Amino acid sequence: MGRSEREAVAAGGRLYAAAQAVAGDHGRAVEAVRAALKPICDAEAEQALDAIPVTRLKEVTEGRLRLGEVERSGLRSVRQVLDAGPYRLRQIPGVGQRTADQVVAAARQIADAVRETLAVHIDVERPEPRTTALVMALQVLVEAGPDARRAVDTAAALSERLGPLLTEARPAAGRLRPLLMRGERRARAREAVAEVRRLTEEAAGAGVPELLAQASVDLLRGTSTEAAAWVDFELRSAEYYSLLAEISGRGPDTAAAEGFLPDEVAGRVRDQQLDDTHRRVSLRGYQAFGARFALAQRKVILGDEMGLGKTIQAIAVLAHLAAEGHSHFLVVCPASVLINWTREIEARSRLRVLPLHGPERHEAFADWKARGGVGVTTFDALRGFPAGEGGELGMLVVDEAHYVKNPKTRRARAVTEWSGHCERVLFMTGTPMENRVAEFRSLVRMLQPDLAEAVGDRHGVSGSKAFRKAVAPVYLRRNQQDVLTELPALQHTDEWEELSASDEDAYHEAVRAGNFMAMRRAAYARPEKSAKLNRLREIVEDAAANGLKVVVFSNFRDVLKVVTDMLDGVRGKGAGQVFGPLSGSVPPARRQQLVDEFAAVAGPAVLVAQIEAAGVGLNMQAASVVIICEPQIKPTVEHQAVARVHRMGQVRSVQVHRLLATRGVDERMVEMLNNKTRLFDAYARRSEVAESTPDAVDVSDTAMARRIVEEEQARLGAAARRESAGQP
């Protein structure tokens, strides 16, 4: 044994040290979160225990405790009992050692139960030092991302294997020790050196040293400023809460997170591995379970309530299958969400994504067939593509699957044909199926025909538990109240739409006229073909199916009328009662009356309101879905409008959908406002000056309008010239 052995052991030692360093860096980052979380939990627990009367201690001991003397002493709450402790309790006349110990033990039992059920809510509108410290500690782990988690897991596995091997191999790497070793010990050392060399070379080939080094850098980087941490939290609150639940151990009830599946199915799903190599974001526990469910059961329906992240669960499944070597995937969705799908896949995974839509869809389809990736297409376009054969399609994902509930339609037949050629199919729908057994059976028939025949109408009639048990092999649904323990949260979604041909015509007319305001509302000028209006209707119907109330905001009264007319037309299809429009011309007393009537409705309802008229002074906590019809010139207008819904008294998470059109005024406004105001607004919006004079933090309306009009006239003029010249 000589130089070669010494070099192998040295390389193994460096790799082991890097693995240990990553584990230590990650451990310190986690401990920083726990340290920041403790005072928040302590304060919330104390507040909760203050509200629990001493008499509740009897329940813990099944009525055996006599608390009359304790109450007469002035100790009214469980917290006061804990603060007093056994010594002070023994000073109370009539309370002996045994009773004092029993009282304190019962109080501690209640305190433990309270701490286990605490759900920390980070209030972005009311930041204070303790929550700021928590957000900043969490940001370190959020910024490090899934790669850091992968590095930590890799480091743990390497440390477990390399540690004992290096101990065994080091004598063989010395200059004199090999001469002193004999027989079996010498052979073991040689074997250990060989194994260290193999592991080190294998790790180098897989890029592990670089992965570990980058993870340590990311975990040690820290945050830049408090404001930057809060801005990042607003943008990625789901990732923050996911980490918080994991570190605190206060995630949702396991049975709820697993959709109350029978043990046999849930156990099989838990055993399913989930590779995150091609994924850029972390998953919440229930989301990881949903992805595993799709993988383990192969052909399924994911029916989570809207707002729970069905899209990211689907992307996680595709990323896992890509890591296993699958190359082709297909997502079928309504045209209104096609752009969102492509953006989500690009942002949240490393998968190649290709829209198979529009005039050049057949050329794009040929490119997808040749090169692979995730093809994203529409129900209508799918009919024009030949269904793949030979198992080349790794998975077919069908979003808004209730669109194909009628098996007689051409879109349903196309989906059925493609499903038949694919071993893995994921249907997604936020519409609850329990009371739609006939529709559900139709969807299941495309996936698992034998199970479809076994699902009868009686299962829906007998209640959701019986229904879920019957359909467990194919259907998973979770509700917000069951799995989002940190409610109420605020979820922002930008809904990017491609303008229809009719929308484009109206937009071009507004650009030629140099009319900035007409450009902003051109997407609603021709309602019968409006892409934004179509998406708005889908969101409202989805919310209504889940029993949620919706507020629709727009800056323009004519847009509000178009929206109201459309919603009145679909009210009979489950959109709920429509209130408004609530505009600046409506007297203040009548505005409040409309809001009160909207809140009083037992089921789903929609309130249509002008954003500036309704954005101040009115509280709309009854709603949990907000739709903003167009981006606003002043960011504070949107913030104030959303705050009417997401505020004290809100008991559900609030989902904000901002309707945006690609390649035009919306995209330019979003770019300009994000670049110029996001970070400054994060500072200013939390200051007294900003609250009293919101205009102070907004960019100039006139300057923005003039610049966008000029740029759009130049862009469309250049496009027209290329078209007339026959250029692409």
Distance CA 546, CA 563 (A): 21
Q: Are 354 and 362 in contact (CB under 8 A)?
A: no
Is 693 or 540 the better-scoring residue by pLDDT? 540
Structure confidence at residue 673 (pLDDT) = 74
Tokens of 505: 């015509």
Strands annotated E in 239-314 = 299-302
pLDDT digits (tens, 9 = 90+) for 410-450: 999 999 999 999 999 999 988 777 657 788 889 999 998 88
Residue with tokens 């051409």: 410
pLDDT of 401 higher than 70: yes
pLDDT of 698 higher than 80: no
In percent, the amount of the chain with pLDDT more than 70 equals 86
pLDDT of 579 higher than 50: yes
What strands lie across the sheet with 393-398, from one edge to the other? 353-356, 373-378, 328-333, 393-398, 425-428, 299-302, 475-476
> Whole-number mean pLDDT of the chain?
84
pTM of the model: 0.69
What domains are defined for the chain? 1-250 (no CATH), 254-483 (3.40.50.10810), 490-724 (3.40.50.300)
pLDDT digits (tens, 9 = 90+) for 24-44: 999 999 999 999 999 998 998
Tokens of 364: 């794009």
Distance CA 554, CA 371 (A): 43
Is 64 or 179 the better-scoring residue by pLDDT? 64
Distances (CA, A) of 617 to 72, 589, 595, 638, 640: 46, 11, 11, 14, 10
Using DSSP's 3-state secondary structure scheme, residue 255 falls into helix
Structure confidence at residue 508 (pLDDT) = 94
Q: Are 110 and 52 in contact (CB under 8 A)?
A: yes
* φ, ψ at 470 (rounded to 5°): -70, -35
Closest CA to 626 of 648, 647, 649: 647
- DSSP secondary structure letter of residue 727: -
pLDDT digits (tens, 9 = 90+) for 298-320: 999 999 887 788 999 999 999 99
pLDDT of 679 higher than 70: no
pLDDT digits (tens, 9 = 90+) for 462-513: 445 667 777 889 999 988 778 876 655 678 889 999 999 999 999 999 999 9
Structure confidence at residue 450 (pLDDT) = 85
Structure confidence at residue 390 (pLDDT) = 56
Q: Please state the rounded mean pLDDT for residues 84-103.
A: 88
Q: Please state the rounded mean pLDDT for residues 157-172.
A: 87
